[in-house]
Amino acid sequence: MIPLQPPRRLVDVEVDGESVRVPEGSTILDACTAAGKDVPTLCYGDTLTPKNACRVCVVEVEGSRTLAPACSRKVEPGMTVGTDTERARHSRKVVLELLGSSVDLSTTPRAAEWIEEYGAEPGRFGADAATVEQPAKVDNELYVRDYAKCILCYKCVDACGDQWQNTFAIGVAGRGFDATISTEFDAPLTDSACVYCGNCVEVCPTGALSFKTEFDMRAAGTWDESRQTETTTICSYCGVGCNLTLHVQDNKIVKVTSPHDNPVTHGNLCVKGRFGFGYV
Amino acid sequence: MDLRFRDAEPTAEEREAVDALLGPPATAWEGGRRTETDLRVAARPESARDLLLPALHAVNDRVGWISEGALDYICRRLTVPPAEAYGVATFYALLSVKPRPPRVLHVCTDLACQAKGADAVRRRVEERLGPPGQSWQPSPCLGLCERAPAALALEAGSPPTADVYGPVLPEQVTDGLWTDLPATAGPSSNGAAGGSRGEDPRAGDTGEPPAEAAVPQAGQDGLVLLRRIGVADPASLDGYRADGGYAALRRAFRLGPAGVIREVLESGLVGRGGAAFPTGRKWDATARQPDHPHYLVCNADESEPGTFKDRVIMEGDPYALVEAMTIAAYATGCAKGYLYIRGEYPRAIRRLEHAIATARARGLLGTGILGHAFDFDIELRRGAGAYICGEETAIFNSIEGFRGEPRSKPPFPVEKGLFGKPTVVNNVETLVNVLPILEHGAQAYAAIGTEASTGTKLFCVSGNVARPGIYELPFGATLRDLMDLANPVGEPRAVLLGGAAGAFVTDLDIPLTFEGTRQAGATLGSGVVLVLDDSVDLKAMLLRIAEFFRDESCGQCVPCRVGTVRQEEALHRLSERVDERDLLLLREVGQTMRDASICGLGQTAWNAVESAIDRLGVYR
What is the predicted pLDDT for the residue at B183? Answer: 43
B250 and B369 part of one domain:
yes
Return the number of other C-beta atoms located less than 10 Å from residue B481's C-beta: 17
Q: Is the pLDDT of residue A116 over 70?
A: yes
**B303 contact A CB<8A:** no
Q: What is the pLDDT of residue A2?
A: 62
Domain that holds residue B502: 456-533
Q: Which of B515, B533, B551 is the last residue of a domain?
A: B533
Predicted pLDDT at B28: 80
Model confidence at A276: pLDDT above 60: yes
Output the pLDDT for position A58.
97
Answer with the one of B89, B115, B132 that is the final residue of a domain: B89
For B601, nearest residue in chain A (alpha carbons): A176
Contact A259, A245 (CB under 8 A): yes
Mean pLDDT of chain B: 92
H/E run at residue A91:
helix A86-102
What CATH number corresponds to the domain at position B464? 3.10.20.600
Residue of chain A nearest B581, judged by CA positions: A124
Whether pLDDT at B256 is above 90: yes
pTM attached to this predicted model: 0.95
User: Would the CB atoms of A52 and B557 count as touching at under 8 Å?
Assistant: yes
pLDDT-based confidence at B32, cuts 50/70/90? confident
Q: Write the CATH number for B84.
A: 1.10.10
Q: Which residues of A touch B66 (CB under 8 A)?
A: none
Backbone angles phi, psi at B8, to 5 degrees: -90, 130
| pLDDT at residue B205 tops 60 | no
Q: Among residues 533-562 of chain B, which lie with CB inside 8 Å of chain A?
A: 550-559, 561-562
In a domain, B199, yes or no: no
- The predicted pLDDT at position B251 comes to 97
Phi first, then psi: what are they for B431, rounded to 5°?
-65, -45
Look up the CATH number of the domain holding residue B309: 3.40.50.11540
Distance CA B578, CA B210 (A): 46
Positive or negative: CA dihedral A199, A200, A205, A208: negative
Tell me how far CA of residue B1 lies from CA of A154, A265, B76, in angstroms. Answer: 21, 20, 11
A6 CA to chain B: closest CA distance, Å? Answer: 23
CB atoms near residue A188 (< 10 Å)? 12
On chain B, the residues whose CB falls within 8 A of the CB of A175 are: 90-91, 386, 553-555
Nearest-Cα distance to chain B for A279, in Å, is 30
DSSP per-residue string spanning B131-157: STTSSEEEES--S-GGG-S-EEEEE-S
> For B559, which of A98, A129, A177 is closest by C-beta distance?
A98
User: pLDDT > 90: what percent of chain B?
Assistant: 86
**What number of helices (H) and strands (E) belong to chain B?**
23, 14
Cross-chain Cβ contact B562/A58 below 8 Å: no
Considering chain A, what is the average pLDDT of its residues?
A: 95
**pLDDT score at B196:** 39
B283 domain-assigned: yes
Beta strand B294-300 with B423-427 is: parallel
Q: Please provide residue B488's backbone torsions phi and psi, each rounded to the nearest 5 degrees.
A: -60, 150
Residue A250's Cβ-count burial label (10 Å; 0-12, 13-18, 19+) is exposed
The 10s digit of each residue's pLDDT in A248-273 is: 999 999 999 999 999 999 999 999 99
B91 and A CB contact within 8 Å: yes
**Mean local confidence (pLDDT), B176-181:** 46
Same-domain status, B610 and B492: no
d(CA B599, CA B593): 10
> Does residue B364 share a domain with residue B339?
yes
Quickly state the pLDDT bin for B34 (edges 50, 70, 90). confident
Which of the two residues, B457 and B169, has the higher pLDDT score? B457
d(C-alpha B122, C-alpha B139), whole Å? 10
A-contacting residues of B 233-252, CB under 8 Å? none
CA distance B532 to B428: 27
Residue B227 lies in a domain: no
Give helix B428-440 / helix B247-267 axis angle, nearest 10°. 100
In a domain, B607, yes or no: yes
Q: Which chain A residue's Cα is nearest to B563? A: A98
B201 is a domain residue = no
Of all residues in chain B, the one with the smallest CA distance to A194 is B4
B386–A182 C-beta distance less than 8 A: no
Q: Using the beta-carbon criterion (under 8 Å), do A95 and B558 form an inter-chain contact?
A: yes
Confidence of residue B33 (pLDDT cuts 50, 70, 90): confident
Given CB atoms, is B583 within the 8 Å cutoff of chain A?
A: no
Instruction: Say which range, B103-107, B167-171, B544-548, B585-589, has the weakest mean pLDDT.
Output: B167-171
B550/B601 same-domain check: yes
Contact B301, B340 (CB under 8 A): yes
Q: Is a pLDDT exceeding 50 seen at residue B191?
A: no
What is the predicted pLDDT for the residue at A69?
A: 97
Residue pair B546/B571 in contact (Cβ under 8 Å)? The answer is yes
Asked if omega into B290 is within 30° of 0 (cis), the reply is no
Question: Residues B538-544: what's their mean pLDDT?
Answer: 96
Statement to judge: residues B291 and B400 lie in one domain: yes
Rg of chain B (C-alpha set)? 24
Residue B188, pLDDT score: 42
| B565/A contact by beta carbon, under 8 A | yes
Nearest to A102 among B72, B552, B562 (CB): B562
Residue A3: what pLDDT? 64
- Angle, CA of A163, A164 and A169, to the nearest 5°: 95
Under an 8 A CB cutoff, do A175 and B562 touch?
Answer: no
Q: Do B552 and A72 touch (CB under 8 A)?
A: no
Contacts of A128 in chain B (CB under 8 A): 569
Question: Looking at residue B187, what is its pLDDT?
Answer: 40
Report how many helices (DSSP H) and strands (DSSP E) chain A contains, helices first.
Answer: 7, 12
Which residues in chain B touch residue A53, judged by CB atoms under 8 angstroms apart? 556-558, 598
Domain end residue (candidates: B89, B117, B147) = B89
Q: What is the pLDDT of residues B62-95, one digit of tens each?
A: 999 999 999 999 999 999 999 999 999 999 999 9
Looking at the structure, tell me whether residues B37 and B140 fall in a common domain.
Answer: no
In the predicted model, is pLDDT for residue B181 greater than 90? no
8 A C-beta contact, residue A211 and residue A257: no
The pLDDT score that the predictor gives to residue B197 is 39
Are the C-beta atoms of residues B169 and B182 closer than 8 Å to each other?
no
Same domain, B75 and B109: no
Q: Do A176 and B550 touch (CB under 8 A)?
A: yes
Q: Tell me the C-alpha distance between B323 and B452, whole Å.
A: 26
Overall number of domains in chain B:
5
CB pairs under 8 A between A and B: 159
Per-residue pLDDT band for B390 (boundaries 50, 70, 90) equals: very high
Q: Per-residue pLDDT averaged across A60-89, rounded?
A: 96
3-state secondary structure A253-274: EEEEECCCCCCCCCCCCCHHHH
Given pLDDT bands bounded at 50, 70 and 90, which one contains residue B47?
confident
Question: Is position B211 within any domain?
Answer: no
With a cut of 70, say whether residue B194 has pLDDT above it: no
Q: Span B346-361, mean pLDDT?
A: 97
Q: What is the CATH number of the domain that holds B568?
A: 1.20.1440.230
Same domain as B516, residue B560: no
Task: Identify whether B432 is part of a domain.
Answer: yes
Instruction: Please report, rounded to a whole number, the percentage of residues in chain A having pLDDT higher than 70.
Output: 99
Residues of chain B contacting A182 with CB distance shorter than 8 Å? 83, 86-87
Average pLDDT on B212-234 reads 94
Contacts with B588 from chain A: Cβ below 8 Å: 90, 94
Beta-carbon separation of B553 and A191 below 8 A: no
Give A253 to chain B, closest Cα distance, Å: 32
How many beta carbons lie within 10 A of that of residue B104, not counting itself? Answer: 22
pLDDT (tens digit, 9 = 90+) per residue, A133-157?
999 999 999 999 999 999 999 999 9
CA distance B60 to chain A (A): 16
B110/B53 same-domain check: no
The rounded radius of gyration (Å) of the Cα atoms in chain A is 20
How does pLDDT run across B121-156, given as a tens digit for each residue? 999 999 988 999 989 999 999 999 999 999 999 999
Query: Which of B1, B555, B597 has its CB closest to that of A176?
Result: B555
Q: Which of B84, B555, B597 sits opposite A171 (nearest CB)?
A: B84
Residue B463 Ramachandran class (φ > 0 left, ψ -120 to 50 alpha, else beta): left
Task: Tell me: ipTM over 0.90.
Answer: yes
pLDDT category at A15 given cuts 50, 70, 90 is very high
B23-32 long-range contacts, CB within 8 A, separation 24+ = B25/B76, B25/B77, B29/B76, B29/B79, B30/B76, B30/B77, B30/B79, B31/B73, B31/B76, B31/B77
Same domain, B553 and B607: yes
pLDDT surpassing 90 at residue A36: yes
Would an 8 Å CB–CB cutoff place A123 in contact with chain B? no
pLDDT category at B620 given cuts 50, 70, 90 is confident
Q: Do A87 and B595 touch (CB under 8 A)?
A: yes
pLDDT at B27: 80
Q: How far apart are CA A96 and CA A110, in angstroms?
A: 12
Nearest residue to A160 (alpha-carbon basis) of A26, A72, A45, A29: A45
Contact call for A101 and B566, based on CB within 8 A: yes
| Domains located in chain A, CATH noted | 1-128 (3.10.20.740), 143-275 (3.30.70.20)
Same domain, B248 and B141: no
Distance CA B54, CA B401 (A): 9
B484 and B397 in one domain? no
Of A99, A129, A179, the CB nearest to B569: A129
> Quick one: average pLDDT of B513-537?
94
Question: How distant is the Cα of A8 from the closest Cα of chain B, in angstroms?
Answer: 20
Q: Report chain B residues whose CB lies below 8 A from the CB of A185.
A: 68, 71, 86, 97
Q: How confident is the model at residue A124 (pLDDT cuts 50, 70, 90)?
A: very high
**Among residues 59-98 of chain A, which lie with CB inside 8 Å of chain B?**
66-67, 69, 72-74, 87, 90-91, 94-95, 98
Is B1 a domain residue? Answer: no
CA B412: distance to chain centroid? 21
Is residue B189's pLDDT more than 60?
no
The sign of the CA dihedral A96, A101, A103, A104 is positive
Do B91 and A67 make contact, defined as CB atoms within 8 angstroms? no
- Say whether residue A126 is in contact with chain B using an 8 A CB cutoff: yes
pLDDT greater than 60 at residue B377:
yes
